[in-house]
Structure 1
Amino acid sequence: MVTAQHAVLGLLARYEPKNTTERADAERVRTLVTSGDPWQRSSPLHVTGSALIVHPESGRVLLRWHQRHESWLLVGGHADPDESDPLAIALREGREETGLTDLAPWPDAGIRHLAIVPVPANSREAAHEHADIRFTLATRTPEAVRPENPQAPLRWLTPREARQVITEENIQETLSRVEALLAD
């Protein structure tokens, strides 16, 4: 089994952060990974894996309503026990949250964006941060999309439409990076 350290550090070694903030975030993640279990949800900073799902043929992206944050977000989340690969986590979460069984990394399996995102406290957990490692996943069957529950609707949007509904600046940045790929 690949250790959490090897999986995350390997991905980070192949990734070139795009700006100063992202370089600092990547360094925080490296420090987190080398100091222990980066997936521990009880830690004030822990790694998550997420993705922007695309349908390359139509140029559309898929967003998921997140009731707790009251905003349109990417699919993704926390590691299950014994998971240590952020891409595998993004793929599993993507399948669970959308019902799409054909998801695959697109155009490659590299990190698309790394963002440390603050998560406010709620009745179940203290405020903390997600070191969110983001990928792009593609489907050939966008019509097969099914939300995992009625409180988490899904929407296929053009990048321009998505830009109108996304309220999180870090999600806008992920969208910009993926939009450039879709335009190619």
Structure 2
Amino acid sequence: MLAELLSGYRAGDPAEAGDVARVAELLRAVDDPWSRSIPLHVTGSALIVHPPTGRVLLRWHERQRAWLQVGGHGDPGETDPVEVALREGREETGLPDLVPWPDAAIVHVVVVPVAAKGDEPAHEHADVRVLLATADPDAARPEKPDAPLRWLTVPEALAATTEANLRETIHRAAEVMARPHTR
């Protein structure tokens, strides 16, 4: 599934092209690229958008001490980054109506370092990102008290995060939201 999605994907810059190449190599090298037992493993995430207002939803991630997109690890047997992003998005925001928007295309691929914590060693996430939309932004509810959610305009979202890779995802989402869509 992921190899098929990546085969038609065009990286936005040389750094992303390198990350896409690493993910493609991972897919060739291991049976389960989603396995948390390997130092580089695939994750699926999404920037949730509300196209009518041009806003994006960010979630506070206590471990990273940052406002980030929703997403995470695949559950056993999951192999579709869009489905992982949808499940994680619903779990983390309570939004039941999330849909890939404007379609299920990958919007960004980035390898991000993850610091060690407890008995979990430092590792990397090969994060495959998509856009998800909701028609009811007011229905968003945090998964837990220490993971608040914030609907932000694109400039507000860019100001809220210092993560260069997420800033790039936000810029890409803004470009997609600026295009005319039939949906």
For normalisation by structure 1, the TM-score amounts to: 0.95
1:104-143 correspondence runs (5 A):
104-143=99-138
1:82-109 deviation per Cα after TM superposition (whole angstroms, max 9, x unaligned): 1110100000000000000000011111
1:46-57 correspondence runs (5 A):
46-57=41-52
Shift of 1:180: 1.0
Q: What percentage of aligned pairs have identical amino acids?
A: 58
Match of 1:28 in 2: 22
1:140-166 deviation per Cα after TM superposition (whole angstroms, max 9, x unaligned): 000100100001000000000001111
1:4-153 correspondence runs (5 A):
7-36=1-30, 37-153=32-148
SS across alignment from 2:103: coil
Shift of 1:61: 0.3
Aligned residue pairs total 178
Please tell me the residue identity of whatever aligns with 1:20. Answer: P
Deviating more after overlay: 128-137 vs 13-22: 13-22
Gaps of 5+ in 1: 1-6
1:29-52 deviation per Cα after TM superposition (whole angstroms, max 9, x unaligned): 011011111011011100000000
For normalisation by structure 2, the TM-score amounts to: 0.96
In the aligned structure 1, how far is the partner of 2:159 from the partner of 2:13? 24
Please tell me the residue identity of whatever aligns with 1:108. Answer: D
In the aligned structure 1, how far is the partner of 2:88 from the partner of 2:75? 10
In the aligned structure 2, how far is the partner of 1:11 from the partner of 1:54? 21
In the aligned structure 2, how far is the partner of 1:127 from the partner of 1:88? 26
In the aligned structure 2, how far is the partner of 1:49 from the partner of 1:73? 13
Shift of 1:122: 1.1
Match of 1:157 in 2: 152
SS across alignment from 2:27: helix
Match of 1:3 in 2: none
Shift of 1:124: 3.0
